Chains A and B, each alone.
Chain A
Amino acid sequence: MKLERAVVLSQEELYENTYLMWLSSPRVAKSASPGRFLMIHCGDADEPLLPRPMSFHRFRDSQSERQFAILYDVRGRGTAWLSTRKPGDGLTNFGPLGRGYATNPDAQNLLLVGGGLGMAALIALADQAIVAGKSITLLQGARTAVKLYPTDLLPPEVEALSATDDGSAGHHGYVTDLIPQHLSWADQIFACGPTPMFAAMANVIREARSRKPAQALLEERMGCGTGICYGCAVFTRKGVRLVCKDGPRFELRQVFS
């Protein structure tokens, strides 16, 4: 797997501290899919040392090539550097990596549950599923209203509901509070968000005595993205697994029981 040179097509601060960047990196885009990720070098020279994992956020076809976007928060020196890139700038990267979401062909009603920046990966899935004729309900949770992903950017067919910790928009509480009312409707559930959200989700589903299949896209600190550093281990019912290689998609109940 060679290092690739991506070209920045556009960059904007989509909402508070969350940036949307469109990239052209044809070889990486070719076999990218929702839930998979790429690694991006976030510095001019050799620093910071480790590349940053980024989910594929959206795809589009433009000028006969497949392009993709990433959605990221500025959290440290790597993402701060990334946020200063301008259209035309190059970005060293490699991918695509990991195992993405797997939609059951028989599943018609998909329930998507996103917490915070977990929306980054779910939107790619929503876009793809709408094209495939599926019905989508998207539940998203954030700390506060300004941190919600703008619903006007979603495909219009998506039914979107929100929850905020402070009650400034949508349901006042956690996004997982919204799950029970959609459980019987959903054929398959897809989630991406922080670990406590997954744990709460597993609880909610268990309490509803539901056996609906749910896939969680896990996040863990990564070194390599390719399964060699063993940094991103997750302890599952079947033993220790690596998020980058065995995931990032896992069956929710395999990790959170």
Chain B
Amino acid sequence: MFCPTPWHTLKTVPNLSVELLPGHKRGLSFSNPVMTASGTFGNGLDYAKIFDIQRLGAIVSKAITLRPRQGNAQPRIIETAAGMLNSIGLQNIGVDAILRDIAPVWATWRVPVIANIAGESIAHYAELARRLDGAPGVSGIEINVSCPNVENGLEFGTDPRSASDLTYAVRRETDLPLLVKLGPNVTDIVGIAAAAADAGADGLTLINTFPAMRIDIQARRPTLGWGSGGLSGPALKPIALRMVYQVARSLDIPIVGCGGIVSAEDAIEFMMAGATAVQVGTATFRNPQAPLDIIDGLEEFMQREQILAVREIIGAALPAQRESQTNNAGGVAAGHGPQSDGAITGRALRPG
């Protein structure tokens, strides 16, 4: 029987789906913009027993290295005001075990899994990308650039040239959607973001943890076994948010926002600052269900505000016109090695 409903009582189901990488030939479509951040969700297998992980927008794996790593000595974590420090030391089972035991499970899931990779040299990263390329269950790659390069001791993500070299080397090995996850401990995030974009990144994850420390005043030494660690949690959020805003206002590249997101309101802030999707990390330590609660909260917000599609809010807080970066990032990214191979697309720089 047909029962007509007055139009004003119609409850619309908000559309939460996002296409993260419209510029990529296969794209990367999510049922919603909420992802789990690398290193805060294992490889997803444990939580598959705890809740319906298929409801997530996407899962990012724990950082994968070429060889298995035991990780750092204790203590590995310590709480701080509105946050925590960690120095896990990239404990993971290595790419062989991932491909043999884990990726086949990912392949059976509806939720896309993005493999986060970490290495000690550009050759390591390239090798990881080569191994993961085409593996069933791997929907994309996220490069963790916040690792020291054993060749010069500097982090890959701390200057445009090394970020560019690294991104380019990985890009050459794979057609998979490629995200570059940048660290916040830099003077000019836009310059580094532009370098990664020009070297072939399809999207950027902003941001990784901030290098930080606590001192054990009884022992009179740094609290963490490794000495320093990465700050995560709500304390990081305003810093991350500004970096997303800065990059989104300058560059035309999809951004995944990450840093201290614990609520739907936090996620919305990141999307309004220009992020197409968000990653939830430390919040899951406090509430195992946090990513799902944030999805529900997003949906409620959209219903309340009568927003039909979540993509409508992406960049809503940005100025109407994008800033020109030709004097800033463009100068850094141009004239670099990959140019001769035709890898520089220039699409990262959008005229103001």
Contacts and interface: CB of A to CB of B under 8 A. Distances in A.
Interface of A: 1-3, 41, 46-51, 94, 220-224, 226-233, 235, 239-240, 245
B86 A223 contact: yes
Contacts of B289: 1-3
Contacts of B288: 1, 3, 94, 224, 226
Interface stretch (B74-82, B101-109, B146-154, B251-259): B74-82
A222 B78 CA distance: 9
A226 B50 contact: yes
B351 interface: no
Contacts of B234: 46, 49
The 9 closest A-B pairs by CB, nearest first: A231-B77, A224-B285, A1-B50, A1-B288, A230-B88, A223-B285, A240-B70, A228-B42, A231-B76
Given A228-B47, A233-B91, 16 more contacts: A1-B289, A3-B288, A3-B289, A46-B82, A47-B81, A50-B84, A51-B285, A221-B78, A223-B285, A226-B50, A228-B41, A229-B77, A229-B88, A229-B285, A240-B70, A245-B46
Contact of A49 (B70, B83, B91): B83
Nearest to B42: A228
Contact of B262 (A46, A227, A235, A240): A46
Interface residues of B, number: 34
Interface in B66-98: 70-71, 74-79, 81-84, 86, 88, 91
A227 B39 CA distance: 11
Nearest to A231: B77
Contacts of B79: 48-50
A228 B40 contact: yes
Q: Helix, strand, loop or mixed for chain A's interface?
A: loop
A41 B286 contact: yes
B140 interface: no
B82 A49 contact: yes
Contacts of A51: 285-286
Interface in B8-66: 39-42, 46-47, 50-51, 62
Interface string B287-324: 11100000000000000000000000000000000000
B46 A226 contact: yes
Given A229-B285, A233-B71, A221 B77 contact: yes
Nearest to A47: B82
B83 A226 contact: no
B88 A224 contact: no
B284 interface: yes
A48 B79 CA distance: 8
B282 interface: yes
A65 B185 CA distance: 52
A1 B46 CA distance: 11
Given A46-B262, A49-B79, A240-B70, A228 B88 contact: no
Nearest to B77: A231
A206 to B, nearest CB: 24
A51 B70 CA distance: 25
Most interface-central of B42, B70, B262, B284 (chain A CB within 10 A): B42
B85 to A, nearest CB: 10
A221 B284 contact: no
B284 A228 contact: yes
A41 B46 CA distance: 22
B70 A231 contact: no
Nearest to B285: A224
A224 B234 CA distance: 16
Given A221-B77, A233-B71, A235-B70, A50 B285 contact: yes
Interface string B166-178: 0000000000000
A230 B39 contact: yes
B200 interface: no
Most interface-central of A47, A49, A50 (chain B CB within 10 A): A49
A227 to B, nearest CB: 5
B274 interface: no
Contacts of A232: 76
Nearest to A233: B71
A48 B81 CA distance: 7
B233 interface: yes
Contacts of A233: 70-71, 74, 76, 88, 91
A252 B310 CA distance: 52
Contacts of A47: 81-82
A49 B233 contact: yes
